[in-house]
Structure 1
Amino acid sequence: MKKIVLACGSGIATSTAVANKVSAFLNENGMAGQYTIVQCAIAEAPSQCADAVMLISTTVPPAGITCPYVNGVSFLTNMGVAQTQQQILDILKQ
């Protein structure tokens, strides 16, 4: 099971919207049941990323991130979504 950390400022509103879009995208690409999404506040990201395959965030990541970072703002703006989705798939295939 691949752990994906999804962070925003508070870990509630924005991360939930992005989590739903990421989950739907991954399921559409045959990855249902192969991942888990953990939502958190950006301040919690360094500890949550210790055993994660990536951090998707709608804000600037703090120092100490040990997993690949993906800028998730495109899921909110709908600009550049395809590129972000490809980046996510590329990381998951590693």
Structure 2
Amino acid sequence: MIKIVVSCGSGVVTSAIVARYVADFLDAHGYAGRYELVRCCMADAPTQCADADFLIATTVAPMGITCEYVSGVPFLTGKGRTDVEKRILDLMAR
């Protein structure tokens, strides 16, 4: 099971938007049931990422992140979304 942490400043609004988009995107690409999404605030991200495969965040990566980092901003703005989607698929294929 691939663990994906989705984080924003407070762990409430933008992380929910990004998590829904990522789930729909991964399911559409055949990954349904093969990943776990965990939402959190940025303060909790280092702890959540300790055993995660990658972090998708709507802020810069905080200090102490030990997993791969992916910017979630393109899911909110649309700019650069194709590149981020490709990166996520690459990370899922590892």
TM-score (norm 1): 0.98
- Provide the rounded CA distance (Å) in 1 between the counterparts of 2:22 and 2:57: 12
- Provide the rounded CA distance (Å) in 2 between the counterparts of 1:60 and 1:78: 18
Q: What do the CA deviations read for 1:25-69 (whole angstroms, capped 9, x no partner)?
A: 000000000001000001100000011110000001111100000
Q: How many residues align?
A: 94
Q: Which runs of 5+ in 2 are unaligned?
A: none
1:54-73 equivalence runs, <5 A: 54-73=54-73
Runs of 4+ more than 4 Å apart: none
State the shift of 1:93 in Å.
1.1
Q: Which runs of 5+ in 1 are unaligned?
A: none
State the shift of 1:86 in Å.
0.5
Work out whether 1:90 is the aligned partner of 2:53.
no
State the shift of 1:92 in Å.
1.3
1:41-52 equivalence runs, <5 A: 41-52=41-52
Identity score, percent: 53
Q: Report the AA paired with residue 51 of structure 2.
A: D
The two structures, once aligned, show a CA RMSD in angstroms of: 0.5
TM-score (norm 2): 0.98
State the shift of 1:84 in Å.
0.3
